[in-house]
C-alpha cells in the first residue's frame, strides 16, 4: 500500500491508472477471475437486459416491436449460459427403468435442486469476489490508509440485523436476475401459451404426449386432497412443482420467480422517481429557504393529507383504461402513483440534513468564491445527504413491494396474465384452510421476508452511518416512506 510515485510532487496523488500500472498483479488477478465469473453466466445477464428492452418497446402505445429488437432478443437467447435449464435440465419422464431427459438421469426434483443450489452458490461467490476487489483496492491502490468509510463498513459488518437484510435482498435479486434458470419450466409454456407447448410423460408402459394446457387442467390445486399438487410434489404428468400449483394448474414457483421482476421494476422506478424529486427539492429548499421552502411544505402537506390508499385505488381505476395504464401491464402507472404520493415523506427525511449542511462553513466559502448554486448543491451539499438517501430508499423499496402486492390482491395492480405476488395471494385466499394452503401462504411469506430484508438493510446502513441514531425517532419517517 505504501508504493510511492516519484513522478508526482509531494502531496499530489497519482491517478488510479498509474497506481495500478505500478503494481498490476492484484488488479490483473481480480479482473481475470471476475471475467471468468461473468462469462459463466453472461447469457443470463444479456437475456435479462434484452427482455427489459423488448418489454419497454412493446409498452409504447401504437408501436410494434421492431424486427431489429426482436432479432436482438433472439440473439440474446443464443448466448451460452453455464447454469441454465438447458445445461442442467429437470424436465423428463420415468420410463420404467430410469429418468429420461433429466441431468445425469437424476429425478426432476433433484435436478432442479442441483441447478438452484449451483445458481445461488455462484451468485454469492460472485458477490464475495466483488468484496475481495474492494479489499484489494483498499490494500494496494488507495492513497489513504484510513477513511471514514472504513469505520462505516466495519460497523455494518458487525450489524447482524443489517447482514440478515443483505442476505435476503441478495437472494431476492438473484431470483430476479436468474428467474428463467431457477424456474422448473418456462413462462411461455406454463403461463403465456400453454396450449402451444407439449409435455411428454410415461403412463401405462408407454410414452404419451399432451399439451401443457391440458396437463395444467389435470394439475389444479382446488383445496381437496384429490385436486391438489403441493410443494415439492409431482403431478400426474411427471412434472415437479417446487411450490405446488395454482388453482389453474400452473406452476407457482415459475409464477413467483417471474413476478419478482415486476415487483422490483415497479419498486425501483417508483423509489427512483421519489428520491429524485425529494433530493432536488431538499437541496433547493435548504439552499434558497424562504418562499421556496414554504411552498414545498404546503404542497407536501397537501399530498400527505390525502388518504393515500384511497388515492392509489382511485388513480389505478381511472388510469387503467388509458394508454398509460397499458404500459407494462399497468406497472408503469403504479410506479408513477407511488412516486407521486411518496416523495413528501422522503423530502421531509432529507430536508433536515440538507438544512444543516447549508449552514456549514464550506458552503459559505463556496458562495464567496462565486460558485453557482447548482455547483454548490451538487458538490458540497449532495454528498452529505447521500447516506440518508440509501437508508430511506431501501426502506421505501420494501414498502413499495408490499403496497404493489396489496393492490394486486385487490385486483387493482398489475393486469393478468402478468405474474405478480399479490395476485397469487388473491388466487389462494379461498384455500387457506384447505389442502391447497400453499397458494397464498408461500407468496405471503416471501413478501413479508423481502420487505423485512429491505427494512433490515436500511436499519443496518443507518446505524453504520450514524451509530448514535435513535431508531425509535427515525421509525416514523421511515415507515411513512413505505407507500400505502
Sign for the pseudo-dihedral over CA of 412, 415, 417, 422: negative
Q: How far apart are CA 128 and CA 26, in angstroms?
A: 16
Nearest to 427 by CA among 436, 435, 354, 388: 436
Confidence of residue 62 (pLDDT cuts 50, 70, 90): low
Give the lowest-confidence range in 139-148, 167-176, 180-189: 139-148
Whether pLDDT at 87 is above 70: yes
Helix axes 290-305, 252-288, angle to 10 degrees: 150
Backbone Cα Rg of the chain? 26
Sign for the pseudo-dihedral over CA of 35, 36, 42, 44: negative
Overall average pLDDT of the 230-245 stretch:
92
Task: Fill in the DSSP letter of residue 105.
Answer: G
The CA-based angle 120-122-127, given to 5 degrees, is 95
pLDDT per residue over 257-273, tens digit each?
998 888 888 888 888 89
Beta strands in 296-359 (DSSP E): none
Q: Which of the pair, 52 or 180, is modelled with greater confidence?
A: 180
Q: What is the mean pLDDT of the chain?
A: 83
Whether pLDDT at 5 is above 60: no
Cβ-Cβ contacts under 8 Å for 467 (sequence gap 6 or more): 155
| Joined grid coordinates for residue 436 | 391447497
Q: Which of the pair, 471 or 438, is modelled with greater confidence?
A: 438
Whether pLDDT at 48 is above 70: yes
Predicted model pTM: 0.83
Element spanning 202, H or E: strand 198-203
Residues in the chain: 484
Overall average pLDDT of the 304-316 stretch:
78
pLDDT of residue 35: 93
pLDDT per residue over 369-381, tens digit each?
888 888 888 888 8
Ranges 110-124, 319-333, 457-471, most confident: 110-124
Ranges 71-85, 184-198, 308-322, 435-449, most confident: 435-449
Is residue 67 within 8 A of residue 75, CB to CB? The reply is: no
pLDDT of residue 160: 92
Nearest to 434 by CA among 227, 179, 239: 227
Confidence of residue 61 (pLDDT cuts 50, 70, 90): low
CB atoms within 10 A of CB 282: 29
The helix/strand/coil state of 314 is helix
Q: Which residue has the cell 407494462?
A: 328
Calculate what percentage of the chain has a pLDDT beyond 70. 90
Q: How far apart are CA 219 and CA 236, in angstroms?
A: 7
Q: Which of the pair, 7 or 406, is modelled with greater confidence?
A: 406
Q: How far apart are CA 272 and CA 263, in angstroms?
A: 14
pLDDT of residue 96: 79
Amino acid at each position: 500500500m505504501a508504493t510511492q510515485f516519484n513522478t508526482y510532487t509531494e502531496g499530489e496523488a497519482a491517478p488510479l491508472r498509474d497506481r495500478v500500472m505500478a503494481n498490476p498483479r492484484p488488479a490483473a488477478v481480480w479482473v481475470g477471475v471476475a471475467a471468468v465469473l461473468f462469462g459463466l453466466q453472461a447469457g443470463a445477464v444479456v437475456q435479462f437486459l434484452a427482455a427489459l428492452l423488448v418489454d419497454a418497446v412493446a409498452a409504447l402505445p401504437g408501436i410494434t416491436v421492431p424486427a431489429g429488437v426482436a432479432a436482438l432478443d433472439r440473439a440474446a437467447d443464443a448466448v451460452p449460459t453455464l447454469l441454465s435449464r438447458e445445461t442442467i435440465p429437470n424436465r423428463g419422464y420415468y420410463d420404467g427403468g430410469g429418468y429420461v431427459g433429466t441431468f445425469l438421469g437424476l429425478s426432476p426434483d433433484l435436478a432442479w435442486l442441483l441447478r438452484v443450489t449451483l445458481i445461488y452458490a455462484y451468485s454469492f461467490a460472485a458477490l464475495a469476489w466483488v468484496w475481495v476487489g474492494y479489499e484489494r483496492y483498499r490494500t494496494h491502490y488507495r492513497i489513504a490508509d484510513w477513511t471514514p468509510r472504513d469505520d462505516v463498513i466495519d460497523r455494518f459488518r458487525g450489524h447482524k440485523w443489517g447482514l440478515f437484510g443483505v442476505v435476503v435482498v441478495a437472494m431476492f435479486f438473484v431470483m430476479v436476475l436468474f428467474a428463467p434458470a431457477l424456474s422448473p419450466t418456462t413462462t411461455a409454456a406454463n403461463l403465456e401459451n400453454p396450449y402451444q407447448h407439449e409435455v411428454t410423460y410415461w403412463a401405462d408402459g408407454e410414452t404419451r404426449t399432451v399439451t401443457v394446457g391440458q396437463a395444467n387442467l389435470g394439475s389444479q390445486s382446488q383445496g381437496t386432497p384429490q385436486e391438489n399438487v403441493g410443494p415439492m410434489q409431482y403431478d400426474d404428468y411427471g412434472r415437479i412443482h417446487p411450490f405446488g400449483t395454482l388453482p389453474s394448474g400452473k406452476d407457482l414457483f415459475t409464477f413467483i420467480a417471474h413476478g419478482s421482476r415486476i415487483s422490483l421494476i415497479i419498486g425501483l422506478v417508483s423509489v427512483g422517481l421519489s428520491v429524485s424529486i425529494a433530493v432536488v427539492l431538499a437541496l433547493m429548499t435548504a439552499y434558497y429557504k424562504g418562499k421556496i421552502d414554504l411552498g414545498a411544505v404546503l404542497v407536501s402537506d397537501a399530498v400527505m393529507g390525502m388518504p393515500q390508499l384511497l388515492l392509489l385505488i382511485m388513480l389505478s381505476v381511472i388510469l387503467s383504461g388509458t394508454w398509460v395504464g397499458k404500459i407494462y401491464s399497468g406497472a408503469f402507472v403504479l410506479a408513477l402513483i407511488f412516486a407521486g404520493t411518496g416523495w413528501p415523506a422522503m423530502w421531509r427525511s432529507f430536508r433536515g440534513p440538507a438544512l444543516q449542511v447549508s449552514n456549514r462553513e464550506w458552503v459559505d466559502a463556496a458562495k464567496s468564491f462565486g460558485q453557482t448554486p447548482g455547483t454548490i448543491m451538487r458538490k458540497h451539499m449532495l454528498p452529505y445527504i447521500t447516506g440518508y438517501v440509501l437508508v430511506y430508499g431501501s426502506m421505501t423499496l420494501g414498502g413499495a413491494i408490499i403496497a404493489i402486492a396489496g393492490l394486486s390482491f385487490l385486483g387493482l395492480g398489475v393486469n393478468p396474465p402478468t405474474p405478480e405476488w399479490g395476485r397469487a395471494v388473491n388466487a389462494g385466499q379461498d384455500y387457506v384452510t384447505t389442502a391447497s394452503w400453499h397458494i397464498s401462504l408461500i407468496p405471503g411469506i416471501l413478501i413479508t421476508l423481502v420487505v423485512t430484508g429491505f427494512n433490515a438493510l436500511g436499519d443496518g446502513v443507518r446505524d453504520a452511518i450514524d451509530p448514535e441514531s435513535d431508531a425509535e425517532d427515525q421509525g416514523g419517517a421511515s415507515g411513512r416512506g413505505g407507500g400505502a
